[in-house]
Structure 1
C-alpha cells in the first residue's frame, strides 16, 4: 500500500510503501446507485436534507465547493437517473445504509477499509492507474487536467456523474474504482500510510492532529473528525485518480455530519 517517491503527483500522505495483509471480503461491483438509495429512503422514511457542495450550482458569487443550499441527492445541477451513483450524502448516511442493508439481508455489510479499497482499486497492478501509467477518459469519468471541473472527452461524455458501469471494469471486475465519484471508506484520517493497520482493518484511532506544511489547518482537530475518501471524482484532475492518492472529507468549513458533495458517495463491502 502507498506510492513510491518517484510517482508523479505523489504527496507525503501517500507513503511510506507498506505491506498489508488483506483478509477475504466481498466488495460491491458498483457504487451504490441513486435507485438503491431511494429504496432505502422509502423503506426508512428518511427525510431529504438539502445543502450540497460541488453540486453543479452555477453562480458567479459562489465557488464550486461552496454549499448550494437548495441541492440534495434528488436535485443537482447536473442530470442523473437511477443508474447514477447517489451523491450529496453524509458519512452518517453511508453508515445508516450499511446497517439497514445488514438487517434486511442477514449479512454483515460495511464500508471498505482504506487498505481494502486500495487493494481492490489496484487489482494486482503496481502502476499509478490499474490500466497503466497514464489517465484516460476512455477508461474513467474525471475532470480537466487542472482545476476542479468536469470534462467531456471521448467516451467520457459526462460533466457530472455517469451511470455506474459506463467504463470497463478493472481486473477484479469492479467498476468505477477510479473516477465518477469519491468513495467513503471506514478509516479515520491518518497522516501517512504508516498508521494503517498491517492486518487490513480500518484505522480508527482518535488522536489530536499535529500536521505540517499545507495541512496545518487540521492542527488541533481529532483524527476521527475526518474520514478517508478514495478514487477521485468526475471533476478531479487525473493525478487525483491514482490508486495511491489519498483524500479525506469533510472539506474546509464543514463537519463530517453536514458535509455533502456531488462528488462523494460510497460502495459496500460484506464480511465473508
Structure 2
C-alpha cells in the first residue's frame, strides 16, 4: 500500500476506536481532558466513550466554536436520532447499502470570509473576500464514488457516466475513443471518484438519494464547499500555504503522489482535513450548486448557492452567463489551482475525466444540544 494512503477511509474511525477502548473518564480526569481538548475529533471520542459527559463536552465545543448537534438519520422506513460534534469528523450514513458517508460541519464563526486575500500567492480576481454566515450542514467525507453513482444508475435515478453512455463514442466497452479507457481501473474501480458526469447528472444523483432516504440531499454551495474544505483554516490549503516537503497530501501535477498527472486517486486517498473531508484539494474537480459569477463577493451572505443567473459585469468584462462553479482542482492541474479559494466554471452539461462531485445534506431542525 502506498504510504500516502495509509490514512484511509476508516482511519478516523480507527483513531476514535482507540480512545473508546480506554476506561471512562472520572472526576478530575474528565474535567482536565475535556478542558484540554483542542478539536472536534477529540471531543467526539470523549463523548462516545462517556455519553454522560454530554453537557461538559458541549460546553467545551462551544468554546472552540463547535457544537453538539442532534439530527435525524437513517432511511424513511427506519429513521433514528443521532448527534455529532460538528467538526468532529465522525462519519455517518443514511443507508446500509451503497451510500455516501458524511460528516457534520459546524456553523461558521463570526467574521468568516470566503475567498482569498490579495496577498495570497496565485490569488485570482474572482476570489474577492466577503463575510459569510453558514449554518450547520453535512457534506460527503469523500467525492461520490463509482459504486455510489452506479447504484443510482441501476436504480433508474441517474444517466450513465459518459464512459458508459450507450452508443457513445467514449463508451469504454463499445466506443472508438480511448479518452476514458486509458485510465483503466482508476476509472472503473468501485472506490474511485466518479468522473464523466455533468452538473445535471450530479443534481439528479442528489434528487435520487433524497427520494431513497427521505433526507434533503443536494450539491454544496460554493461558500459551504470552501468553508468545509478550509476546516477552520485561512491558509491556501487546509494544511498550510505550500505543499509539504515530507508528506504527500494530494494528487495534482506536481504533488508527489503516484497518480500525479495520470489518473484520479481513490476517493479515500491521503489523510482527511480536520473535519474529516478527503481530497478537497486535487484529484477531481467538484461541481457546486452555484451559478458562477466573477464577483464572488456579490453572492448570498447566508451560505446558500447563487441560484439566479444574473451576474453583473466586472470592469470591462461581460458577465458570465449559464455556467456553474466547480471547486478543488484536479490530478491533471497544478497545485495553485487546488487552493481552498480557487474557482472554476463550465456549462452544466460538461463532462470530463477530471470532473466529479461531492454531495451535501440538510440537517433537519438541527439542535445545538447541551
**In structure 2, what is the Cα distance between the partners aligned to 1:226 and 1:73?**
28
Distance change >3 Å, CA 174–CA 38, structure 1 → 2: same
Aligned to 1:6: 119
Deviation at 1:210, TM superposition (A): 3.3
Note if contact 1:87-1:261 (Cα within 8 Å) is conserved in structure 2. Answer: yes
**In structure 2, what is the Cα distance between the partners aligned to 1:46 and 1:154?**
32
Q: CA RMSD in A?
A: 2.4
Deviation at 1:33, TM superposition (A): 0.2
Distance change >3 Å, CA 127–CA 98, structure 1 → 2: same
Match of 1:39 among 134, 151, 169: 151
Q: Is residue 18 of structure 1 aligned with residue 130 of structure 2?
A: yes
- Which structure is higher in helix share? 2
TM-score normalised to structure 1 length: 0.80
Deviation at 1:50, TM superposition (A): 4.1
Deviation at 1:206, TM superposition (A): 1.9
**In structure 1, what is the Cα distance between the partners aligned to 2:284 and 2:344?**
12
Deviation at 1:42, TM superposition (A): 1.0
Q: Report Cα offsets for 1:101-127 as digits up to 9, x if no partner.
A: 000000000010100000001111111
Match of 1:78 among 183, 192, 210: 183
Match of 2:331 among 234, 257, 264: 234
Distance change >3 Å, CA 49–CA 27, structure 1 → 2: closer
Where structure 1 has 5 or more consecutive residues not aligned to the other structure, the ranges are: 53-68, 145-150, 251-255
Distance change >3 Å, CA 208–CA 48, structure 1 → 2: same
TM-score normalised to structure 2 length: 0.59
Q: Is residue 109 of structure 1 aligned with residue 188 of structure 2?
A: no
Note if contact 1:20-1:199 (Cα within 8 Å) is conserved in structure 2. Answer: yes
Q: Report Cα offsets for 1:37-90 as digits up to 9, x if no partner.
A: 1111111075546479xxxxxxxxxxxxxxxx7325885321221110000101
> Secondary structure in 2 aligned to 1:183?
strand
Q: Report Cα offsets for 1:228-266 as digits up to 9, x if no partner.
A: 00000111111001101111113xxxxx22x10111111
Higher-RCO chain (CA-CA 8 Å, sequence separation at least 6)? 1
After TM superposition, the runs of 4+ consecutive aligned structure 1 residues lying more than 6 A away are none
Aligned to 2:77: none
Note if contact 1:123-1:172 (Cα within 8 Å) is conserved in structure 2. Answer: yes
Q: Is residue 98 of structure 1 aligned with residue 206 of structure 2?
A: yes
Aligned to 2:274: 171
Aligned to 2:87: none
Distance change >3 Å, CA 270–CA 202, structure 1 → 2: same
Where structure 2 has 5 or more consecutive residues not aligned to the other structure, the ranges are: 1-113, 174-179, 364-370
Note if contact 2:157-2:205 (Cα within 8 Å) is conserved in structure 1. Answer: no
**In structure 2, what is the Cα distance between the partners aligned to 1:49 and 1:173?**
27
Structure with bigger gyration radius: 2
**In structure 1, what is the Cα distance between the partners aligned to 2:312 and 2:202?**
25
**In structure 2, what is the Cα distance between the partners aligned to 1:241 and 1:45?**
31
Q: How many residues align?
A: 236
Deviation at 1:190, TM superposition (A): 1.2
Aligned to 1:142: 252
**In structure 1, what is the Cα distance between the partners aligned to 2:239 and 2:196?**
29
